[in-house]
Amino acid sequence: MADHFFTKSLPKVELHAHLNGSISSSTIQKLIEYKKSRTVDGFDVPKEWECCMAGDKKMTLEQGFMIFKIVHTLVDDLQSLAMVTRDVVSEFHEDGVCYLELRSTPRANEANKITKRSYVETILEAILETTKKIDIVVRFLLSIDRRQSVCEAEDTVELAIEYKDKYDGLVVGVDLSGDPKVGNAAEFIPCLSRARSAGLKLAFHVAEVPNIVETKTLLEFSPDRIGHGTCIYPDKGGDQELVDVMLQAKIPLELCLSSNVKCRTVKSYADHHFKDWRKNDHPVVICTDDKGVFMSSLSDEYLLVAKTFSLSKLDLWKLSYDSINYIFEQNTVKEQLRTKWREWKDESI
């Protein structure tokens, strides 16, 4: 059986990581100290933050989104944004991640002279700066928050198209995310179609909560990957037609066990839908979602999967190796990664 040493040394792919949800507690403390240093009257951590920042195992989905509000309060200038981007990339690298796709919603802050364009550029420049120093491939997805207007979503897509060309492939896709209980995701289909026509890949958060009609609409659009897919099987709030669409289309799933269980969209790790998709030999990728929010590294997630579903070291290696198939990159990059994985396997298993 695998242990934490094995899962940390295992080369890994992370395909579902929200930048602002991936900020570690140590970086949060750096941000608080930084905010104190530049605030005339000082800065006290509000009491309502405490339970959210403590990684409460009984966290609700709503509390999870509350942490994003906390982070947005702290990351309110370009210096902070660059700091967290560098830290997040470095921490994934330290955890054995060799290929990382980060995602974030462009945000403007007039008070601190941040535009959506400068927000994206700061992240991309911080990624480039960090990857010159460490051996990790990082790509970026711009996120559409479903709580925003269609007009704002269109702006996000145009930025993604612009920076896809400007940064020579660093921007690879568009993510549809946000509170699944808010809004109608189908309204964003036209601008997502625009992104696809421009050569961008699409990753959708789908079926985090039961919503058969919306899930069917999004699956019929054939995204390149979907996140969570929690409520697709009939016993989890979906129906067999949705399962059949997934199995026929072979749409890869980004699965985040700790996120789902801690937010209580899944009852327990043993009940996680990972086992259902694996039984049907469906493409799955183990991911963190928000490693800072849920205080769980990708190594932790792999170990959790191994212990819960009795996977061997070879099973874990293959799970990680197969993840390379679903990255939003060209075949040349995929082959380079596969070579690294095979060399590691020859030395370690």
Q: Which pLDDT score is estimated for 295?
A: 87
Name residues whose C-beta falls within 8 Å of residue 235's C-beta, 6 or more positions apart in sequence. Answer: none
Q: Strand pairing partners for 228?
A: 206
Closest listed residue to residue 21, CA positions, set 223, 258, 202, 210: 258
49: pLDDT strictly greater than 70: no
57: pLDDT strictly greater than 80: no
Q: Strand pairing partners for 114?
A: 109
Q: Which pLDDT score is estimated for 48?
A: 56
SS3 5: helix
- The whole-number average pLDDT for the span 122-130 is 98
Mean per-residue pLDDT over the chain, rounded: 93
Which residue did the predictor score with more confidence, 32 or 333?
333
CATH of 4-347, one of 3.20.20.140, 3.40.50.620, 3.40.718.10, 1.10.1050.10: 3.20.20.140
**8 Å CB contact between 301 and 22:** no
Q: Give the Å distances, CA to CA, from 186 to 113, 215, 221, 227, 256.
A: 33, 9, 10, 16, 24
270: pLDDT strictly greater than 60: yes
61: pLDDT strictly greater than 60: no
pTM as predicted? 0.94
Q: Which pLDDT score is estimated for 22?
A: 95
- The whole-number average pLDDT for the span 245-255 is 97
Q: Which pLDDT score is estimated for 166?
A: 96
pLDDT category of residue 60 using cuts at 50, 70 and 90: low
pLDDT category of residue 1 using cuts at 50, 70 and 90: confident
Closest listed residue to residue 170, CA positions, set 228, 115, 131: 131
Q: Which pLDDT score is estimated for 154?
A: 98
Q: CB-based burial of residue 137 (10 Å sphere; 0-12 exposed, 13-18 middle, 19+ buried)?
A: middle
The total number of residues shown for the chain amounts to 349
- The whole-number average pLDDT for the span 19-47 is 82
Q: pLDDT tens digit string along 102-117?
A: 999 999 998 889 999 9
Tell me how far apart the alpha carbons of residues 83 and 275 are, in angstroms, rounded to a whole number: 38
Q: Could you report how far apart the first and last alpha carbons of the chain are, in Å?
A: 12
15: pLDDT strictly greater than 80: yes
Q: Which pLDDT score is estimated for 26?
A: 87
C-alpha dihedral, 172 to 178 to 180 to 185, nearest 10° = -60
Q: pLDDT tens digit string along 278-337?
A: 999 999 999 999 998 888 999 999 999 999 999 999 999 999 999 999 999 999 999 999
Q: Which pLDDT score is estimated for 340?
A: 98
Q: pLDDT tens digit string along 68-81?
A: 677 778 898 999 99
Q: pLDDT tens digit string along 204-236?
A: 999 999 999 999 999 999 999 999 999 999 999
Q: Which residue in the block uniquely carries the two structure tokens 């839908």?
A: 273
Q: Where are the alpha helices (DSSP H) in the chain?
A: 4-9, 25-37, 50-53, 61-74, 78-94, 116-131, 150-166, 189-197, 212-220, 240-249, 257-262, 274-279, 298-309, 313-323, 331-348
56: pLDDT strictly greater than 80: no
Of these residues, 208, 254, 301, 329, which one is catalytic?
A: 208
Tell me how far apart the alpha carbons of residues 64 and 71 are, in angstroms, rounded to a whole number: 11
Q: Which pLDDT score is estimated for 125?
A: 98
Q: Which pLDDT score is estimated for 263?
A: 87
- The whole-number average pLDDT for the span 149-156 is 97
DSSP for 129-164, written as a single string: HHHTTSS-EEEEEEEEETTS-HHHHHHHHHHHHHHH
- The whole-number average pLDDT for the span 136-150 is 97
Among 22-31, 192-201, 292-301, which is the least confidently predicted range? 22-31
Identify whether 158 is a catalytic site residue: no
Percent of the chain with pLDDT over 90: 81
42: pLDDT strictly greater than 90: no
